[in-house]
Amino acid sequence: MFGSLKALPADPILGLLAKYKKDNNPNKIDLGVGVFKNEAGHTAVLDCVKKAEQHRTNTEDSKVYIGPTGSPVFNDEMAKLIFGSEHKVLNENRARTISTPGGTGALRVAAEFIKSCKAGATIWVSNPTWANHTGLFAAAGLNVKTYPYYDYENKSLDFDGMLNALKEVSSDDVVLLHACCHNPSGMDLNNEQWQQVADVAKDVGFTPLIDMAYQGFGSGLDEDAYGLRLMAETVKEMIVCSSCSKNFGLYRERIGACTIIGESSISVDIANSVLLYVVRVIYSMPPAHGAAIVETILSSDELRNEWYVELKAMRDRINGNRQLIVDKLIENGVTRDFSFISRQSGMFSFLGLTPEQVQQLQDEYSIYLVGSSRMSIAGIANSNVDYLAKSIAKVL
């Protein structure tokens, strides 16, 4: 059976990481992997997470299954974090949240749920989008199409192109939107643009699927959820996939959530029964540890406030790095305008370099970023930014 298989290419980012680890250059810089790093280049465990884990160690008395939905406390706390405690869909009992194995698991569950609603459904994703979106949805049997989003030439949002494309989408289609910190462009919709997109969604009737992997990494927990909450107020049905990997630093715990919004509490209960069947036939029950950490933090005033402080520190570091690299490029005589980096948000930005220039950075300076010139902002540090800016200047 296996003899007919042909080897598939490795994930470019994982392949880049392997090359980085083998590189002996003491000045090497990893700008490829999308995880938060501190000034020392380390992805540390948050203090509030350590305390929540200790609490779990002291109080956990069973390893029995927690059921397909996951922990009810986690689901309730996540719903309030996503929508705000007084949101219309919560007050009207029109939302159902389940815990999933990471944000990727939430997306796959959502994809299979969409297929259950309509076999061969079409889902529209932004051009560009997170590299795994297309393969993930296609693997679930969905038809994947793209709408304009990032203007590579002007380093800006192609909002007119996006809006015009969405007006032509079928009412039976699904449209994927990034809630904040767009991966990989760093370009987000402003509040006025979110209003226009929500109005189009209502008029056309397509189903929004909003991926929120970075809540709190852009401007703040509530600010980053503005568009998502507005959309939920505007449309009758919606899907939200969220992740705790970044804002809680729980990358390896694989904890996320999938939320569906229905037109009524009765209709969403029916939809939720289908969602749970999808879960049952994919992984049966979600893992419990990550959810227990998150619910412990969100249920405790002390730990929640500590989390706010640690999350703000991560956000401030990322935003500070954006301005830092722009300033350093200017100091090194770069005349090309890179100010767009400081106007973006989240973990990523396109430098706008050619694939040849990206390869030159890797070969000659041991600076690793993907061929599209997407850069992970968290990989910048005070200790390497001068070398990084000088290297970019030489390549340019």
The answer to whether residues 69 and 78 touch, using CB atoms and an 8 Å cutoff, is no
Write out the two tokens for 132: 């795994």
Closest CA to 353 of 342, 344, 341, 343: 341
Write out the two tokens for 141: 């049997």
The answer to whether residues 110 and 241 touch, using CB atoms and an 8 Å cutoff, is yes
The angle that helices 47-59 and 289-299 make with each other, rounded to 10 degrees, is: 110
Closest CA to 242 of 292, 294, 197: 294
Write out the two tokens for 57: 């160690």
Question: Of 130, 155, 158, 328, which is the active-site residue?
Answer: 130
Q: What is the Cα–Cα distance from 214 to 367, expressed in whole angstroms?
A: 25
278-to-16, 227, 285, 349 alpha-carbon distances in Å: 34, 28, 11, 35
SS3 343: helix
Q: What is the Cα–Cα distance from 258 to 352, expressed in whole angstroms?
A: 34
- Please state whether beta strands 29-30 and 367-368 pair in parallel, antiparallel, or not at all (unpaired): parallel
> Taking the CA of residue 292 as centre, how many other CA atoms within 13 Å lie in the half-sphere pointing to its CB?
19
123 has which bridge partners?
Answer: 144, 174
Closest CA to 151 of 169, 123, 126, 124: 126
Q: Which value, to the nearest 10 degrees, does the dihedral of the CA atoms of residues 164, 169, 171, 177 take? A: -80
What does the chain come to in residues? 396
Active site residue 130: yes
Residue type, 323: Q
Question: Of 28, 37, 155, 246, which is the active-site residue?
Answer: 246
Question: Of 30, 173, 211, 224, which is the active-site residue?
Answer: 211
What is the CB neighbour count within 10 angstroms for residue 332? 16
202-to-161, 163, 234 alpha-carbon distances in Å: 18, 13, 7
| Residues annotated as catalytic (active site), given as ranges | 130, 211, 246
